[in-house]
Amino acid sequence: MEDLIAWLKREGGLRIIEEPLDVELEIPHIAYLEVKKPDSRPLLFTRPVWRAEGIEYTMPVLMNLYANRDLTQKILGKAPDEVAEGIEELMKLKPPKTFREKLGMLPKLFSLKNVFPKRLKFRGECQEIVIPKEEVDLDQLPILKTWPEDGGRFITMGHVYTRSLDGTMQNLGMYRLQQYDKKRLGMHWQIHKDASHFFDQYRDAGEKMPVTVCLGGDPLYIWCGQAPMPHGMFELLLYGFIRGQNAQLVRSLSNDIYIPRDVDIVIEGFVDPEAMEIEGPFGDHTGYYTLPEPFPVLEVETITMKKDPIFPATVVGKPPLEDKYMGWATERIFLPLLKPMAPELLDYKMPENGVFHNLIIAKMQVRYKGHAQQFMHAFWGVGQMSFVKHAIFVDESAPDLEEYEALSRHILQRLDSSKILITEGIVDQLDHASPETLVGGKLGIDATGPVVSDRIEERLGDRVFLEKMRSLAPEVLALRQYFTDTPNPIAVVAVEKKRSAKETIDALMPLSRYIAILIVVDAANNDLENPYMLLWRVVNNIDARRDILLDPFIAVDGTNKNALDGYSRQWPGDTHCDAVTLERLAEKGLVELDSEWIVRWGLLPFRKERTDESDT
């Protein structure tokens, strides 16, 4: 990591902060604001402290490693599309028929020897310092508490190494790890992850499960840990493929897990399948808190580390954050792996404000009627794509998938409620909108057809439209229309929710001649002038089977759900910064704040109503 720091100074514009700052809220809040900047940089905090416990750390904290696209590409060592081309070429390899073809294939086959991790028989740099079980004290690591309502301190950038009971499969994953005390960590591996499948094997066999958590080392380990590899494939194969050299592994000291030799910190131990403990709440990448749930517990046996280690961490919450750039690399690199199950797939995008699993947009070659619907089912039936809630498909005539405004107009010009599919399936364990955990509504939109005719009879200006709505539904406080030049203009309304949004929508039915698409959100914490965050809110908050109406107009209930909606689960809160902490950091000149910035990214609770009185 010392080499990495020098590299980040040279290549990534590393910002070094020498002010003593608290691991609780202060350090994460600075990183959270930094990565939202268009020119965000990695940060090194050289003097972390834990004021509540009176601890001053000598171990620096490194954050925002994946601060932007350019730095992400430099970490990979090549363009993500170049990696994808290599994967696609490998997938198309055929047995050679002639001696000349065999000779031509030798360089490719020779290079593949570097893909497989290499197990070393000696200790690695990560084991220069050994802390035995009786001396283990997790308090001595600068573990962060990111959000005011977090259940405690969490390791957020640990790469977690596990193996199957029979030892034939090894997995690398990224899971948050809550610190319970000096010797125990909560293991938040979700039910659909390989580590959770391995855990089931150990539980059924009545054996403790070995686990090793690593921090630091080559930043590519972190990216590999979140890569959606097929079940049973060790993620460090991808590391070898991208780097062109073997990942060099050493054996953990207290279990049989092999780990990279060059990581900074290693936390080894065992999980007792019978010992579960409440983990959370935790402000997650959805921008909401994940509610407390029982998860397995890692009993730490040993901690090893390099001399002068550096502690890496990340912040998850409302977008945009580091996962925007990590996800961009993942999209590009894994495109070839999607094509075998959908050969006509040209490109796809999972926007970060759709928090990835909540929205996918795909471009395809349409060969026959119903082709897009076939794609929907294919996507929902494969690997981690099966957790995607909302899928929109366009054809070759659509703009580039990152030209969001032009793409939105293209979709609205072709949107037809008869080509919208609503079904049910598995959803991500972090999804809070579904009536029950793990199962919920799915939405598929086929926007591959021709331009449609106008869905409305008459267009109204915002002021007149709002007055008509308020005469029927006084809880409507504000209105903003988008894309009024398309056949499907969008009317977004903010409500003071005193009855279910369905009842509000029913009350507005007499205005159907003016409405093509109606989206309802809460007045609190939603800025109708900010479509980026409105999309984030709506795709988080809807269950397609409950919250979407297709006739006489398309209506979407994007409000927070409660008993008024027949919703019986606990609805989580937004991830909001701590106002006192932000003010203190601003006074020190460590962050810049203004009211527009706070509202734009939803940093603090707010309520902003539309005041424009124009009738245009």
pLDDT digits (tens, 9 = 90+) for 415-473: 999 999 999 998 988 899 999 988 999 999 999 999 999 989 999 999 999 999 999 99
Per-residue CA distances from 552 to 500, 549, 588 (Å):
19, 8, 55
pTM of the model: 0.92
What CA–CA distance (Å, rounded) separates 123 from 127?
A: 6
Quick check: helix, strand or coil at residue 288?
Answer: strand
Q: Name the residue among 296, 292, 258 with its Cα closest to residue 275.
A: 296
User: What is the per-residue pLDDT for 415?
Assistant: 96
Per-residue pLDDT band at 93 (split at 50, 70, 90): low
Phi then psi for 468, rounded to 5 degrees?
Answer: -65, -40
Catalytic residues: 284
Cβ(305)–Cβ(215) under 8 Å? Answer: no
Lowest mean pLDDT among 79-83, 209-213, 341-345, 585-589: 341-345
Q: What is the pLDDT of residues 304-329, one digit of tens each?
A: 999 999 999 999 999 999 999 999 99
Provide the percentage of residues in the chain whose pLDDT is more than 90: 80
Domains of the chain: 69-313 (2.30.110.10), 342-446 (3.40.1670.10), 458-616 (3.40.1670.10)
Element (H, E) at 360: strand 360-364
* Mean pLDDT value across residues 232-253: 92
Task: Name which of 222-231, 352-361, 597-606 the model is least confident about.
Answer: 222-231
More confident of the two residues 114 and 234: 234
| pLDDT above 90 for 31 | yes
- Per-residue model confidence (pLDDT) at position 614: 44
At 337 the pLDDT is: 82
Is 163 buried (19+), middle (13-18) or exposed (0-12) by CB count in 10 A?
Answer: buried
Evaluate if residue 611 carries a pLDDT over 60: no
Query: Which of the four pLDDT bands, split at 50, 70 and 90, describes residue 8?
Result: very high
Phi, psi dihedrals of residue 250, rounded to the nearest 5°: -125, 155
